[in-house]
Structure 1
């Protein structure tokens, strides 16, 4: 959940809104992850539908209700399949939904809409697959939150305090290399705290995973900044006070959870993706 590209220009009052919103959202996200089950699935379905609404608004405008309903229906149905332990069928349904939606949009918007369904669908599917129904899944989600949130916060404040060369000025003019390094170091420290809290984890391996996920989360932030720049938008929407849209909050988490699930599936398969991510 990474900061928008122009955070260093935020006014103090807007920064206060960001802090208040984060203070509300963080406990809710952790509490939902702790509960797991259908509560966790519904939470990420709603997040994915919000992302889909924002993406379609950026690409095609807000008056495409039929497209939103049809694409959203595919995401909801895929969530049911994922929650009932049919993740491969869920992926196929999202792909079919994307292909179906592409038929009803102009050619110039077709690839963008397909990408948006994939973006929102993976935003829903990856956390559900990783969380599963056991305690290891909760630990994996907590690790992701710790890495992404710490990267976000420390990148912001380190960049403001130190400054220096820009990370990618053509995409996000205010981000710096010092902020990127500070955020990554903070994520590694946060991963050590999570590994210590849950116990039984290889701290060096978890730190290496955190290093990778921190870099990936920052890449996700830059990718979303590029999308918004392409469509001349400052924020994906104004759903979250002080933060912009749901996409603006979940861009880094989306990228990190995709890579985390890939690592987990590679090492643990669909039966134990969280153990594949955490146990080395």
Structure 2
């Protein structure tokens, strides 16, 4: 193929690659720093995701603006409280932030009527930061858990894209996302856990087979989150959730798999290690 269309494709891929590398380096740097900076960074990301959802889900312009403001304020307040409680040891607990999120979701849904699905933006955005903050706040293995999570999610995402484009084959879920293939899904489900095991081995973790199994579940969760967001965009009649990230679209487009994966990883860690040792519960078997 020649002409303008052929010239745009390499430039779009290059833009996507550069943006992805910059975002990955920023995420790793913030993860290394930890503390309140980490929590506030991911809270901000969650706010953007929640607002994008509310914006897409609410057709009426006036209701859209009101719902988006409620979503942003709710996520910002709950995320800040959760961050302060987990990183500075303040007696905030988790009940108050969770109550704020549920209340904000109900209020946003009421404001956006009849597009009450806009209220889900609060819960969707919260999934971006709750699990990540919970894991990173573990003083023993917090950084390891986040780096492992990045490895699994990014490995699954990149491999699914590369294998799907190279191998092709039957479509995975054409009603939700017409471009995704079974070959890409399998490639991502293999590469994600493998990369996660590599990070854990480099860190010195001894029991790796359980992490391979957990990594497989988290990689599949990443792909499920991607499919869910693709289906939601089709439902809302949008190609991208926004234009905030060059080459990628909106924050929802970039974090759709991560928010589901982080939530699952945090639930696993929480079930084994509790609130104060969720990362150990996830990484040590």
TM-score, reference length from structure 2: 0.90
CA positional deviation for 1:222: 0.1
In structure 2, the residue matched to 1:6 is none
Matched, 1:68 2:68: yes
For residues 92 and 184 of structure 1, the distance between their equivalents in structure 2, rounded to whole angstroms, comes to: 35
In structure 2, the residue matched to 1:104 is 111
Query: Cα RMSD between the aligned structures?
Result: 1.5
Structure 2: state its 5+ residue gaps.
Answer: 1-7, 87-92
In structure 2, the residue matched to 1:207 is 212
In structure 1, the residue matched to 2:183 is 178
**Pairing partner for 2:121 from 116, 133, 151:** 116
Contact map agreement 1:87 1:129 (CA 8 A) in 2: no
For residues 164 and 170 of structure 1, the distance between their equivalents in structure 2, rounded to whole angstroms, comes to: 16
Contact map agreement 1:268 1:276 (CA 8 A) in 2: yes
Contact map agreement 1:37 1:133 (CA 8 A) in 2: no
Contact map agreement 2:127 2:262 (CA 8 A) in 1: no
Contact map agreement 2:46 2:129 (CA 8 A) in 1: yes
CA positional deviation for 1:133: 4.8
The residue matched to 2:112 in structure 1 has which SS? coil
For residues 159 and 184 of structure 1, the distance between their equivalents in structure 2, rounded to whole angstroms, comes to: 12
TM-score, reference length from structure 1: 0.92
For residues 102 and 179 of structure 1, the distance between their equivalents in structure 2, rounded to whole angstroms, comes to: 36
User: Given the superposition, is the C-alpha separation of residues 46 and 250 from structure 1 closer, same or farther in structure 2, using an over 3 Å criterion?
Assistant: same
Matched, 1:139 2:144: yes
In structure 2, the residue matched to 1:42 is 40
For residues 120 and 69 of structure 2, the distance between their equivalents in structure 1, rounded to whole angstroms, comes to: 17
Structure 1: state its 5+ residue gaps.
Answer: 1-9
Contact map agreement 1:155 1:183 (CA 8 A) in 2: yes
**Pairing partner for 2:249 from 244, 255, 258:** 244
Contact map agreement 1:36 1:133 (CA 8 A) in 2: no
Number of matched pairs: 269
For residues 102 and 181 of structure 1, the distance between their equivalents in structure 2, rounded to whole angstroms, comes to: 37
CA positional deviation for 1:163: 1.2
Instruction: Report 1:179-198 matches (<5 A).
Output: 179-198=184-203
